[in-house]
Amino acid sequence: MATEVLVPVLGESITEATVGEWLKQPGDAVAADEPIASLETDKVSVEVPSPVAGVMGAHAVQVGDTVQVGAMIATIEAGGGAAAAPSAPAAASAPAAQAAAPVAVAPAGDAVALSPSVRRAVLEHGVDPSTITGTGKDGRLTKEDVAAAAQAKPQAAAAPAGAGPSSNGGDATAGRAGSGRREERVKMTRLRQTIAKRLKEAQNTAAMLTTFNDVDMTAVIEARAKYKDLFEKKHGVRLGFMGFFVKAATMALKDIPAVNASIEGDEIVYHDYADISVAVSAPNGLVVPVIRDAQDLSVAGIEKTIGDFGKRAKDGTLKMDEMKGGTFTISNGGVFGSLMSTPIINPPQSAVLGLHRIEERPVVRDGQVVVRPMMYLALSYDHRLIDGREAVTFLVALKNAIEDPTRILIDL
């Protein structure tokens, strides 16, 4: 007897989702509560668990299809006792195990088992997914896995097989012509569509302006180097730079409340709390979970929260409620090597802080040219609500706190 697999409740006001990935193929043995599919909503990916143990039946929908809450997407057939009870005699589940073997041995090589974003990365980098070890949940490939494999691939692998060691005078275009030119059309994920829509709405609605400053990271770097081992030993989390910036931002937001405010109709809404949205890279795109009441957290508490967000973003287990709200956003493009950018506001917020890479630059201190680790800061803001004076004052307050971390301790 077959058991239907239904789309679960996805969250308040969420009525539909897109099938992002099938984690189990027809014939695979499935345990009760084992994820069999991944659905993409406007904010996060949601895994669909199997209601019973058995064997994966037919898929009722395909990757990329839009499904409604409560809709049937697959069936689980009776059998496959090995999935529910590994200690049972192997002979009882041999047919199911044999049917599952081709997928279980090399899931990365099956294009159907790759999410659209990973398939796109495989094509862009020209790597064989079956040779890559996945670091995602249940060993699945992520975009980061593909990029790392491409970076590690020997340069010689890009050369045509027929090109000998003395091919300097050969026809360099022959290999490219022989390999052909390929294109693939991949439907935008629901998450990417939502990101595109919201960012474009922000540009169309807000009177957006970006103000820059730079900050000397010497003091924070020295403090981190001095205390990172003790910090990790006591709190169980690594001491990074984001803890300092989030804490400094909450202090600056308290002094400049307009930067923490939002516009609703013809009213300005001021917040006496700082819910900081932190942009985190996930396999299917950028997600922005929220650190609630960040003004009440210590640097250790902030680092623990960010670390947890990062891990669960990679696993695809962030919850809807964790993505809602937020009064101010911090985006750290520096981890990818960005030197400078003009970040886009996350509506209905009125400002976003962009952090960038740290690099040594010559600066003047006490009349002497010295080399310091410097970072550019960028504050994009809605000029309808925030004046230039307030934006500059906010950046200066943030700069002062980072260059003299003692200010964070004494709330100055």
Which residues are catalytic, by number? 383, 387
Q: At what angle do helices 116-125 and 143-152 cross, to 10 degrees?
A: 10
Q: How many CB atoms lie within 10 A of CB 76?
A: 23
Burial of 178 (0-12, 13-18, 19+ CB in 10 A): exposed
User: Are the C-beta atoms of residues 23 and 36 closer than 8 Å to each other?
Assistant: yes
Kindly tell me the sign of the dihedral angle through the C-alpha atoms of 17, 191, 241, 325. negative
Q: How many helices (H) and strands (E) does the chain have?
A: 11, 19
CA angle 330, 336, 338 (to 5 degrees): 75
CA-CA distance, 374 to 371, in Å (whole number)? 9
Report phi then psi at 169, rounded to 5. -95, 5
CA-CA distance, 231 to 303, in Å (whole number)? 11
